[in-house]
Amino acid sequence: MDTQSLQAFLAVAESGSFSRAAEQLHLTQPAVSKRIAALEAQIGARLFDRIGRSIGLTEAGRVLLPRARQILVMVDDSRRALGNLSHDVAGSLTLATSHHIGLHRLPPLLKAYTRAHPGVRLDLHFLDSEEAYQGVLDGELEIAVVTLAPHPDPQLEVVPIWVDRLCFVCAPDHPLAALPHPSLQALCAHDAVLPGPHTFTRGLIEARFAAAGLRLPVALSTNYLETLKMMVAIGLGWSLLPERLVAGELHELAIDHPPIHRPLGYLVHRSRTLSNAARAMLAALEQAREPAAKTAAG
């Protein structure tokens, strides 16, 4: 099996479309079809069922899918290992980050990194932390710089770099703003606007309220913290936001409860050979590491 045919197979399987796969691979649709046909001839089985406009994996396709991913990861891993022998910090670095970290934590670090290593082509992806986490597990991403999971997968090396204090906030004219030290129970009498229900940050918040025997009254959810800030500012509810986002238009509530912190950092797959470019990025991240993050890790 050649890697180009496997790449075409993965692109079609993941996109569910020969035309979209062709766009992703910068090929014509007939070229993608030819590669799939060659792969089917090699294994002696059809990989896709084509019914009308829909495309689905056959049983043979479902068996091949995880193995195709593993083969391509191993090929990439071998290329990186061989490339590292030159000790040059160059080539492509696939890095994912969340929107908040990408906007508020990484810019100075990325600026210094790209100046220090002009031979590196940075392939930067803005993803939800949970999606980036899975991307590293699947071998699609070399590094992710995201909100860290409370219980990370043992296949991953997870290193906290920063710690966000999450502030309870509301609009200055919100009824909660008149209370000197509102309790968690008092908050539950008003609508909340919070990150999505399947995010690591939402899990931290829910756990704190559940420990107090309380259920969060969530009216609206979004994974974009800047959007949450806007929702709070116009009075749609109270929320928890990183300290860096709390500005003059928001009122920080002096909650009668210990603060909630969330760790931010990087993760890489323990079984993956990192490129020299990735190693240089991890070194830059380690230099930016806050003392509070080291305490949290230790």
Q: Which of 133, 132, 199 is nearest to 166 (CA)?
A: 199
**pLDDT tens digit at each of 298 positions of the chain:** 688 888 898 889 888 888 889 988 888 889 999 999 999 888 888 999 887 777 889 999 889 988 888 888 777 777 766 666 666 777 889 999 999 999 999 999 999 999 999 999 999 999 999 999 999 988 889 999 999 998 889 999 999 999 999 999 999 999 999 999 999 999 999 999 999 998 999 999 999 999 999 999 999 999 999 999 999 999 999 999 999 888 778 999 999 888 899 999 999 999 888 888 999 999 999 999 988 887 766 5
Q: Whole-angstrom Cα distance, residue 261 to residue 207?
A: 12
Whole-model pTM: value is: 0.71
Domains of the chain, start order: 3-82 (1.10.10.10), 89-162+263-297 (3.40.190.10), 163-260 (3.40.190.290)
| CA–CA gap between residue 293 and residue 34 (Å, rounded) | 51
Cα 233 from chain centroid (whole Å): 27
Please report the beta strands in the chain, taking only residues with DSSP state E, as ranges in sequence order: 48-51, 54-57, 91-97, 120-126, 143-147, 156-170, 192-194, 218-221, 239-242, 251-252, 260-269
